[in-house]
Amino acid sequence: MLKTKKIRGYKSKCDMAASFQETINQILKVKTAKAMEIFLDLHPMLKHKNFVVAGGVAS
């Protein structure tokens, strides 16, 4: 994308990367919330309603 849009300059590249990360973050937030909603509907008796990210870089 940087080459096709001819984005030059360090700040522009950093802004592009930050925008990409924020977009991915928002998508994962929405999908995770929906997955938790479905999970809790299937398991209404759960006392703890936590979500853990583990493995890879998170560990």
Query: What is the pLDDT confidence band of residue 42, given thresholds at 50, 70 and 90?
Result: very high
In a domain, 44, yes or no: yes
Instruction: Name the DSSP class of 1.
Output: -
Rounded distance, CA 59 to CA 53, Å?
A: 8
Structurally, the chain folds into a number of domains equal to 1
Model pTM score: 0.68
Q: Which domain holds residue 35?
A: 10-58
For position 5, what pLDDT does the model report?
66
Measured distance between the N- and C-terminal CA atoms of the chain, rounded to whole angstroms: 31
Q: Flag whether pLDDT at 48 surpasses 60.
A: yes
Rounded distance, CA 12 to CA 43, Å?
A: 46
The pLDDT tens digits for 2-40 are: 556 677 788 888 998 999 999 999 999 999 999 999 999
- Give phi and psi for 10, each to the nearest 5: -60, -45
Q: Flag whether pLDDT at 52 surpasses 60.
A: yes
Polymer length in residues for the chain: 59
